[in-house]
């Protein structure tokens, strides 16, 4: 199998690349390093089944740079995954979250790549969906620009499936965590605590409680769904949507305390705000119904809090100054 991965230098891209290589696939990753880093792909550099190109996949016709190659599957992961940044600069999500998807779909169509994987998000459900939220939730009203970019992307994928004979798997992730973070609450807290070990100012009251998934569990879910998608989901069995996260949840307060503990801090103060949300567009509680992906036989190795605590430990080591 030949696999093309956009956003391959990111957190999920790194783990998905490793998994496909382990399964015997040939992998070409493309990334523009806007969030991911070259260090994230270093481990594959001597693998003859791996190739990398630095490319901006929001640019029309980027596939001309890889003309002549053929692929069985395109996994489109490139996006602006930093939600609060996208709310401050909406054009960022238009370009990096939506237009990258449109251009990736055009690549799948023009290069006749039959299978398309998309990394969507629980952010498509917005503020008050039923919980745990099923894939067929009636509430698809995103409150972040990022969530809007993901939902618009899903709509285009649905239409490309119908028009151009592509099979698509859309995964609405919870918060994915692991060693090679590029953004998010753990990345943020550890970075800020290293600059100022005596104080941590938290956005919101810290009771925001979200569902987290370890990146290895996330990519194993993607792989299993590809192999065993049950037929007859939302539109047709050629357009599959899966929630992908753990069933539990973890609070920002737990993450703040554990970050201080892992950094061995003794005299510190964590300051919380009064607001129940961290920023406009933040969704303070998430919980996903994952029964559909479980029907494929998927069982996560870690629950939400175990995934978070492992990621704090691993990312603290990975990002140690001087490494």
CB of residue 78 to ligand NAD, shortest distance in Å: 4
Residue closest to ligand NAD, measured at CB: 10
The structure tokens 């609060």 sit at 84
Q: How far is the CB of 79 from ligand NAD (least distance, A)?
A: 3
Backbone torsion region of residue 28, taken as left when φ is above 0, otherwise alpha when ψ lies between -120 and 50, otherwise beta: beta
Nearer to ligand NAD, 53 or 296 (CB): 53
Picking from 242, 241, 239, 249, the residue whose alpha carbon sits closest to that of residue 284 is 249
Least distance from C-beta 24 to ligand NAD, angstroms? Answer: 23
Residue closer to ligand NAD by CB (options 12, 143) is 12
Nearest Cα to Cα of residue 189 among 181, 179, 174, 201: 201
User: How many angstroms separate the CA atoms of 221 and 301, rounded?
Assistant: 11
Nearer residue to ligand NAD within complex by CB, 79 or 316: 79
Select from 249, 283, 242, 276 the least CA-distant residue to 142. 283
Tell me whether residue 165 or residue 191 sits nearer to ligand NAD (CB atom). 191
The number of helix segments (H) and strand segments (E) in the chain equals 10, 13
For residue 63, the minimal CB distance to ligand NAD (Å) is: 12
Q: Nearer Cβ to ligand NAD, position 12 or 73? A: 12
- H helical segments located in 3-136: 11-22, 83-88, 90-93, 100-110
Using N-to-C axis directions, what is the helix angle for 145-164 and 100-110, rounded to 10°?
A: 10
What backbone torsions phi and psi does residue 266 show, to the nearest 5 degrees? -110, -50
Nearer to ligand NAD, 140 or 268 (CB): 140
> In the bound complex, what is the minimum distance in angstroms from residue 228's beta carbon to ligand NAD?
21
Instruction: Quote the CA–CA distance of 141 and 125 in Å, as a whole number.
Output: 6
Q: Which residues of this protein are in contact with ligand NAD, per CB under 6 A? A: 6-7, 9-13, 31-36, 56-58, 77-79, 81, 96, 100, 119, 121, 173, 175-176, 182-184
Q: CB of residue 231 vs ligand NAD: minimum separation in angstroms?
A: 25
DSSP, res 94: I
**What is the C-alpha separation between 19 and 21, in angstroms, rounded?**
5
Q: Cβ 265 to ligand NAD, closest distance in Å?
A: 25
Least separation in angstroms between residue 274's CB and ligand NAD is 26
Query: What's the min distance (Å) between Cβ of 16 and ligand NAD?
Result: 9
**Residue nearer to ligand NAD on the CB measure, 271 or 301:** 301
Report the Cα–Cα distance between both ends of the chain, in Å, rounded: 34
Determine the Cα angle at 245 with ends 296 and 150, to 5°.
Answer: 100
Strand ranges in 24-160 using DSSP code E only, listed in sequence order: 26-31, 50-54, 73-76, 115-121
How, if at all, do strands 2-6 and 269-271 pair? unpaired
- Residue 36 or 206: the one with the smaller Cβ distance to ligand NAD is 36
Collapsing DSSP states into helix, strand and coil, what is residue 14? Answer: helix
Q: Which is nearer to ligand NAD, 124 or 166 (by Cβ)? A: 124
């Amino acid at each position: 199998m030949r696999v093309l991965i956009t956003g391959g230098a990111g957190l999920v891209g790194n783990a998905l690349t490793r998994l496909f290589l382990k399964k015997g696939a040939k992998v070409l990753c493309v990334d523009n390093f806007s969030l991911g880093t070259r260090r994230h792909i270093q481990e594959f550099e001597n693998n003859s089944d791996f190739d990398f190109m630095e490319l901006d996949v929001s640019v029309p016709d980027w596939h001309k740079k890889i003309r002549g190659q053929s692929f069985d599957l395109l996994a489109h992961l490139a996006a602006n995954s930093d939600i609060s940044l996208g709310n401050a600069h909406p054009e960022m999500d238009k370009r990096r979250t939506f237009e990258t998807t449109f251009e990736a779909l055009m690549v799948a169509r023009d290069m006749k790549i039959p299978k398309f994987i998309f990394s969507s998000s629980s952010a498509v459900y917005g503020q008050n969906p039923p919980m745990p939220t099923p894939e067929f939730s009636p509430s698809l009203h995103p409150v972040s620009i990022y969530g809007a970019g993901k939902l618009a992307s899903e709509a285009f994928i649905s239409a490309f499936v119908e028009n151009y004979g592509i099979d698509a798997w859309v995964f609405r992730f919870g918060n994915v965590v692991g060693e090679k973070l590029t953004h998010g609450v753990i990345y943020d807290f550890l970075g800020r605590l290293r600059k100022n070990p005596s104080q941590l100012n938290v956005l919101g009251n810290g009771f925001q409680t979200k569902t987290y998934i370890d990146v290895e569990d996330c990519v194993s879910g993607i792989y299993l769904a590809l192999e065993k998608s049950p037929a007859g989901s939302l539109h047709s069995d050629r357009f599959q949507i899966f929630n992908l996260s753990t069933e539990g949840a973890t609070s920002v307060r737990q993450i703040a305390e554990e970050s201080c503990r892992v950094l061995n801090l003794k005299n510190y103060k964590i300051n919380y705000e009064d607001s129940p949300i961290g920023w406009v567009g933040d969704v303070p509680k998430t919980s996903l119904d994952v029964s559909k992906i479980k029907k494929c036989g998927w069982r996560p190795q870690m629950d939400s809090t175990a995934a978070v605590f492992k990621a704090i430990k691993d990312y603290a080591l990975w990002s140690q100054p001087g490494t």
